[in-house]
Amino acid sequence: MPNTALLIASLLGFLILPFSKWLSDRFSHRIVYRVFCLLLVLYAFPAFALLESKNTIVVSLVIIVGMGLALLSIFGVQATYGVELFGIQHRQSRMAVAKELGSILSSGTAPMVASKLMTTFSSRTPLAAYCCLMASIGLNDILRS
């Protein structure tokens, strides 16, 4: 069933990506990106608590909402936000470096960090805190602006 949830979330991406891009064009890339990051911060602890239920339908819904919120909606905004951050002349090189370096540092290390947290604490709560930490990085310049 989790594979089916991933398929459903991916198919919903055909609607989520253009919708998040539309939102960012309408309201500002920064604001929409921060809202999605904030939603992800708020989602992390309830999502990991729901995973404890081990109910196939509940777990599938957590995967679908999480992937739609965390991955697809944020990626939809990142594509246009990157152009705004780096400008036209440096869009390809700087955005590619930022995106790939971010992938290596966060997504590349996430499975190892998650495994270490689970073996150390035998709880999903530290995983939720780690997700909150990663999502809060997108909120970092709220305090500066």
| The pLDDT of residue 141 | 56
Rounded Cα gap, residues 62 and 42, in angstroms:
13
3-state DSSP: the chain helix, strand, coil percent, rounded to 5? 90, 0, 10
Instruction: Kindly report the number of other CB atoms within 10 A of residue 60's CB atom.
Output: 18
Closest to 37 measured CA to CA, from 140, 138, 141: 138
| The pLDDT of residue 77 | 84
- Distances in whole angstroms, Cα of residue 63 to Cα of each of 92, 95, 131: 31, 28, 14
Rounded Cα gap, residues 20 and 32, in angstroms:
8
- pLDDT tens digits for range 19-47: 998 998 899 888 888 888 899 899 999 99
| The pLDDT of residue 56 | 93
| The pLDDT of residue 143 | 44
| Domain range list for the chain | 2-142
Q: Which residues of the chain have pLDDT under 50?
A: 142-145
Rounded Cα gap, residues 95 and 75, in angstroms:
13
| The pLDDT of residue 44 | 92
- pTM for the model stands at 0.82
Phi, psi of 53 (to 5 degrees): -65, -30
Rounded Cα gap, residues 137 and 76, in angstroms:
17
